[in-house]
Amino acid sequence: MSYLLNALALLLDLAFDAVVTLLLLRVAAEACRADFHNPLSQFVYRYTNPMLAPIRRVLPNWHRVNLAALLLAWLAMLVKRLLLFALLGVMPHPLGLIVLSLAELLDFVLLFYLVLIFGWSLLSMFSVDRRHPLLQLAGSIVAPLLRPLHGKLIAGQIDFAPMVVMIVLLLARLLVAAPLLDVGARLALGA
């Protein structure tokens, strides 16, 4: 690819990843019942509601999982991948495109939680105001993942639960998402 196409691909990645991040924040905030009075939660709800309101009439939540937001996140990954293939001048096979975009969404979700847990655990080591909206939202989103190990992996003053969960997420990226990405890429390119 030329330098201009590389730059355009980077901008497409950033734009679509920002949309997917916002949608995943919505899914995670609803699933863990994050405090709606948090200014960050209000920001996420305000900017995702116009996209989700029409779809939610047809596709309601399943338990506490916002299926409309997940569908839009997957469609964003699909459109992103289609545009990136178009930049290369390649028309992907539809089945491969579907598998590839699902695998990319799975990988993105795992990376999303990995970054969120790392950032939350890093911030919690410093004397940061526990009432800060970012720390509260991140804490409520990562709590369901850390809850099964809470209090079981403490050595002295250090809780190793976030590290264990991050290792599990990394292994899931390597052993589940990466092979799916390979299969999707091979199917999309017809190889």
pLDDT digits (tens, 9 = 90+) for 99-148: 999 999 999 999 999 999 999 888 877 777 778 888 889 989 999 998 88
**Token digits of residue 80:** 């992103």
Helix, strand, or coil (residue 174): helix
CA distance 42 to 60: 20
Angle subtended at Cα 99 by Cα 95 and Cα 101, rounded to the nearest 5 degrees: 115
**pLDDT value at position 70?**
95
CA distance 76 to 16: 6
**pLDDT value at position 122?**
87
**pLDDT value at position 1?**
59
pTM of the model: 0.90
The residue ranges of the chain whose pLDDT is under 50 are none
**pLDDT value at position 92?**
92
CA distance 28 to 18: 15
CA distance 51 to 124: 33
